[in-house]
């Protein structure tokens, strides 16, 4: 079951756009007050929780701009999944890494190139190996554009992002890369385009734990990549389902299971069906969004994300 919760990275951009509109209508003071009300996304090291034999997670506490940060700990090395927003959060995550895996080699991966997942990487020790797919390695410009939008959300957000830069990959791969961490392996796989061009998942077969990024969550999917199609999303979901995970750690929201994947499948199927019906009835895309939202908003209340799904489906379905 999908459910709305705090804003995530794509919605952050939309918040800034609407903030500009509001500044004209209401004055900059009202906009500043809105931004100040958004809590800063600060990683809390004390919240570290074990979810399986080899996997620990610092949960996002339902806050916008804060990811679930993962640690896959072996006897020889540790893989960190996502960094938090900006160097201060990266320092916190790096400190936790050294505490739970003292003296071990550190690997780092971002589920996708959005700033709360990626722009703490520079704070990790120089010996850290940052792994990116070849596609994600080229996403610096997009990552920094989203960061600029995030910095407008308030002084605390801007402070977290001060001096943040996109850290180049130390190791790139095309499709799949397997790490032997000592007693446990981690399989890193390129999945985009879907939420972003460079979406990446991490699979821990020994524990049947999947880090799904933004590709399977309780939150409605954000379908904001212009080149992605419904077929791309179905492929991504099929691949994740084939792993048969017992535990799914998404980028945002609560830890769950394979029900997140099935929930996304059901959502896409219904959006595609209702969009095709609207198209056959002679509606234009804007009308289709209204029609589909009227039918689904009681179960899927995030209107912006629902609209994005309808617009993607419009390109794919026959009318």
Is the distance from CB of 253 to CB of 218 less than 8 angstroms?
yes
DSSP run (H or E) holding 145: helix 140-150
Give me the phi and psi of 238, to 5 degrees please. -60, -40
In the predicted model, is pLDDT for residue 128 greater than 90?
yes
In the predicted model, is pLDDT for residue 272 greater than 80?
yes
Q: How confident is the model at residue 316 (pLDDT cuts 50, 70, 90)?
A: confident
Q: How confident is the model at residue 9 (pLDDT cuts 50, 70, 90)?
A: very low
In the predicted model, is pLDDT for residue 291 greater than 60?
yes
Tell me the three state secondary structure of residue 8.
coil
Mean pLDDT of the 24-50 span? 66
Instruction: Check residue 2 and give its pLDDT.
Output: 59
Give pLDDT tens digits for 12-24: 433 333 332 233 3
Q: How far apart are CA 41 and CA 221, in angstroms?
A: 21
Give pLDDT tens digits for 42-93: 999 999 999 999 999 999 999 999 999 999 999 999 999 999 999 999 999 9
Instruction: Check residue 169 and give its pLDDT.
Output: 98
Is the distance from CB of 269 to CB of 234 less than 8 angstroms?
no
Q: What percent of the chain has pLDDT over 70?
A: 88
């Amino acid at each position: 079951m999908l459910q709305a919760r705090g804003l995530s990275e794509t919605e952050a951009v939309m918040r800034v756009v609407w903030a500009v509109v509001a500044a004209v209508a209401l004055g900059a003071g009202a906009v500043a007050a809105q931004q100040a009300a958004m809590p800063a996304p600060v990683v809390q090291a004390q919240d570290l929780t074990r979810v399986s034999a080899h996997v620990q997670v610092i949960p996002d506490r339902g806050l916008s701009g804060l990811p679930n940060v993962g640690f896959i700990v072996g006897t020889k090395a540790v893989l960190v999944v996502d960094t938090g927003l900006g160097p201060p959060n990266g320092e916190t995550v790096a400190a936790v890494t050294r505490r739970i895996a003292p003296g071990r080699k550190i690997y780092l991966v971002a589920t996708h190139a959005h700033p709360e997942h990626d722009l703490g990487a520079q704070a990790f020790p120089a010996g850290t190996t940052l792994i990116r797919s070849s596609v994600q390695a080229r996403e610096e410009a997009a990552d920094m554009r989203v960061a600029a939008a995030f910095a407008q959300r308030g002084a605390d957000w801007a402070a977290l992002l001060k001096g943040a830069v996109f850290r180049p990959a130390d190791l790139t791969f095309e499709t799949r890369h397997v790490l032997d961490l000592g007693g446990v392996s981690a399989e890193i796989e390129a999945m985009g385009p879907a939420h972003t061009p460079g979406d990446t998942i991490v699979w821990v077969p020994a524990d049947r734990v999947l880090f799904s990024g933004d590709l399977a969550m309780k939150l409605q999917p954000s379908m904001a990549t212009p080149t992605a199609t419904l077929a791309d999303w179905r492929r991504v979901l099929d691949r994740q389902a084939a792993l048969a995970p017992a535990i799914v750690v998404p980028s945002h929201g609560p830890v769950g299971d394979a029900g997140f994947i099935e929930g996304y499948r059901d959502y896409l199927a219904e959006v595609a069906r209702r969009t095709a019906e609207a198209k056959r009835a002679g509606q234009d895309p804007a009308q289709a969004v209204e029609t589909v939202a009227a039918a689904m908003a009681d179960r899927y209340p995030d209107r912006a994300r629902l609209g994005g799904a309808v617009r993607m489906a419009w390109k794919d379905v026959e009318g």
